[in-house]
Structure 1
Amino acid sequence: MPSHNLPSTQTALVQTTYAQALEIKTIPTPEPLPGTAVVKILSAPVLSYAKQVYDGTRKYPYPTPFTPGTSAIGRIAALGSDSTALQIGQLVYVDCVMRSRDNPGDIFLLGLHQGASAGSKKLMTEIWRDGTWAEYCRVPLESVLPLNEARLMGELGYRVADLATIGQFLVVYGGLRDIGIQAGETVVVAPATGGFGGAAVVVALAMGASVIAMGRSETALAKLAGRFEGRVKTVQMTGDVAKDAEELKRASGGSINAVFDIPPPMAAKSTHLKSCIMAVNHGGRVSLMGGIYDDVPIPYQLVVHKDLSLKGKWMYGRNDMEIVIKMVESTVLKIGQLGGVKIVGDYTFEDWEEALNTADKYAGWGSSVAMRPSKK
């Protein structure tokens, strides 16, 4: 007999055929296995580009049929027999970064992308196919992090939809920490007006750095900088490589320690990275976290003669997650509406199409969309 009170079936969003419309279906509720937790989903974020992923525009690889949905906020509903710390009913963050236990290089994103290796494809296809856009989701124990509910929702007043925005901040913290951002340093965030770029500005400031935000829209840059009372300088991307480099130097007062580069796929021909490399200090560091799939030219000799470090980073580790959660609980880092990110839509799974359209419409920094199961 099962030692839990899970229902035998649940309601979930399912994509039966790649790039075709999602459907609300009744499917079996996952059972807890050793090494896993079953989480009752309370709120799951909708990525700004989710519509482009699930309609096939971005051509992300993943198996079908499957249940989409990346990270989430939920409560522990059932636990595998080897769990020793988590408790039934506990509020938790469900992370989407999934790794092989015997080869951490096999990594994929739950409900979104099967990764780049044969091992990661096997994991998503055969083991962890279904994501968080369901009433219940089974995930590895190491993908579940406890949250201090009394502190976050009681004392600080966060709602579950606010807490669901934490994934944006985790991604960029992974890259910023990877290049060793220190208090007092100056970092360029480029471009800074998208969802992840804006999050990088917030996190870099929380880490004690000064920030120069780059972007194409003067209006969006001014709006971003206005939230931080003079703590963020801005430089508009003009496409003039030398001019943009000089503007970066001017904005920094002559010292740039690091660059955080997180452009979207369509920015493959952007010149901003070259301008940043021209402007960064000797011995500077560059974090590459963007979604560009094409080859991008770099000023090779400048990289050599300036002793620059260029580091690629895909996502983050568990220790990064633990640190970010502590930053939120201590108010060093404010997320959700407390951090200036307005929840512009909080939909049930039945309204998934409207949710994806709203997320697509509000793709820039400062807005977020969430989905949740219907109340029964």
Structure 2
Amino acid sequence: MASQQGLPKTHRALVLTSTDEPPEVKVIPTPQPGPGSAIVKVEAANIISYSKNIYNGTRKYSFPMPLVIGTSGLGRVAAIGPDAVLLEPGQLVFIDCFVRGRDDPGSAFLLGVHEGNTEASKKLMRGEWRDATYAEYAKLPLENLYPLNESLLGSKFEYGIEDLQDISRLLVPYGGLSDIGLKAGETIVITPATGPFGSAAVKVALAMGARVIAMGRNAEILKNLAAKNERVETVQITGDMLADLKSLQAFGMIDAYFDISPPEASESMHFKSCILSLRHGGRVSLMGGLKGELNIPIRAILQKDLMLKGKWMYSRQDVKDLIKLIEIGVLKLGDRKAEKFALEDWEKAFDAAFNSSATGAGAVLVP
């Protein structure tokens, strides 16, 4: 079936064999489609801001090697398995890196990044879905490929690949915001709002109709966020819990709090300030990857009937819903262009992504 669909025998891919050595571009056999899968010709593969620290071992992520690394992206269907009924060759699709077990959705891993936390998720990544998207072709589960309305997105909104690549960044906070049922007209604290995912959370929350209190340490980035939308207020994190709480309370009733703090932030006092600022019945979404344990004000949580929810990534329905928001024009793209890099320039690409917090631009690999 694969030969009838015109797949080449080999293709180029960025392969990691050890975190002690840099990845290399190699020529490897092209994957073949089977039941439950499709082969995608990768148009652009996203780069996480801290990718270089994943693949050099600084972040102790667990994954099998050798590995074709990568993450979410965009591509065109090149070949389909015998049971595909929606996808067709040539379609532009969003490639979702969050792979789940078909018979156990709780067994999940991040394609090309992390093999998850259970033996079942490790089995998935070490077996059928081992290789990712920093390659000319990638084999993916059918359910991880989401068709995009190319004529609408391209003709009406004039979005190109450099615009659509931002879907994967926006999806992460959308998963947490959707999980706590953020509603139009509500007020939500987002922190830190100054990084790639935090700024994405601000953008998504605004598209969902909320008022945002953007919180962070970088005053210049906070100022820029507020200048872009009249529904954005800002609070700079000072490290003084009571002072930050007072600053938050000055904005009146706060319905929700979304946090996507980095690993080193577990000792920060802003968690307590934000939780204490919530109204009775308020909600909290925690999505950050903290290293340590979080000290939370349990008495206030009990007395105020607060809801705390952790969320790793998003649901499949969230992916569909976010794409709808983009296709009907509620969630606008185009304000965060991505610099394009060839596979051979992966090191420059990783550096550009690492600096994305300061530059406001992303980076993608274009095989």
Q: Distance in 2 between matches of 1:157 and 1:206?
A: 19
Deviation digits for residues 156-180 of structure 1, max 9, x if unmatched?
1111122111111111111001001
In structure 2, the residue matched to 1:291 is 289
| Aligned positions, number | 366
In structure 2, the residue matched to 1:34 is 35
Q: Distance in 1 between matches of 2:162 and 2:264?
A: 29
Question: Is 2:356 the counterpart of 1:359?
Answer: no
Cα distance change of structure 1 residues 115 and 182 upon mapping to structure 2, 3 Å threshold: same
Q: Distance in 1 between matches of 2:99 and 2:340?
A: 26
Q: Distance in 2 between matches of 1:328 and 1:102?
A: 30
Whether the 8 Å contact between 2:264 and 2:291 is mirrored in structure 1 is no
In structure 2, the residue matched to 1:121 is 122
Q: Distance in 2 between matches of 1:360 and 1:167?
A: 16
In structure 1, the residue matched to 2:278 is 280
In structure 1, the residue matched to 2:111 is 110
1:365 CA displacement? 7.6
Q: Distance in 2 between matches of 1:357 and 1:157?
A: 28
Q: Distance in 2 between matches of 1:281 and 1:98?
A: 36
What SS does the corresponding residue of 1:363 show, helix, strand or coil?
helix
What SS does the corresponding residue of 1:283 show, helix, strand or coil?
strand
Cα distance change of structure 1 residues 245 and 75 upon mapping to structure 2, 3 Å threshold: same
Report 1:1-376 matches (<5 A): 2-228=3-229, 230-250=230-250, 252=251, 254-335=252-333, 338=334, 340-343=335-338, 345-364=339-358, 366-373=360-367
Whether the 8 Å contact between 1:189 and 1:211 is mirrored in structure 2 is yes
1:200 CA displacement? 0.3
Q: Distance in 2 between matches of 1:367 and 1:41?
A: 21
Whether the 8 Å contact between 2:257 and 2:283 is mirrored in structure 1 is yes
Q: Distance in 2 between matches of 1:139 and 1:118?
A: 20
Whether the 8 Å contact between 2:196 and 2:356 is mirrored in structure 1 is no
Deviation digits for residues 281-312 of structure 1, max 9, x if unmatched?
11100000001121010111111111110000
Deviation digits for residues 25-64 of structure 1, max 9, x if unmatched?
0000000010001000001111111011111111111110
Structure 1 length-normalised TM: 0.96
What SS does the corresponding residue of 2:357 show, helix, strand or coil?
coil
Whether the 8 Å contact between 2:162 and 2:337 is mirrored in structure 1 is no
Extract unaligned runs of 5+ from structure 2.
Answer: none
Whether the 8 Å contact between 1:67 and 1:111 is mirrored in structure 2 is yes
Structure 2 length-normalised TM: 0.98
> In structure 1, what residue type is equivalent to 2:241?
V
What SS does the corresponding residue of 1:359 show, helix, strand or coil?
helix
Q: Distance in 1 between matches of 2:351 and 2:357?
A: 10
Deviation digits for residues 97-118 of structure 1, max 9, x if unmatched?
0001111110100010111111
1:19 CA displacement? 4.2
1:334 CA displacement? 1.3
Q: Distance in 1 between matches of 2:358 and 2:247?
A: 24
1:155 CA displacement? 2.0
Whether the 8 Å contact between 2:75 and 2:95 is mirrored in structure 1 is yes
> In structure 2, what residue type is equivalent to 1:3?
Q
Whether the 8 Å contact between 2:259 and 2:285 is mirrored in structure 1 is yes
Extract unaligned runs of 5+ from structure 1.
Answer: none
Q: Distance in 2 between matches of 1:277 and 1:291?
A: 18
Whether the 8 Å contact between 2:352 and 2:362 is mirrored in structure 1 is no
Q: Distance in 1 between matches of 2:171 and 2:253?
A: 27
What SS does the corresponding residue of 2:4 show, helix, strand or coil?
coil
1:127 CA displacement? 1.6
Whether the 8 Å contact between 1:198 and 1:365 is mirrored in structure 2 is no
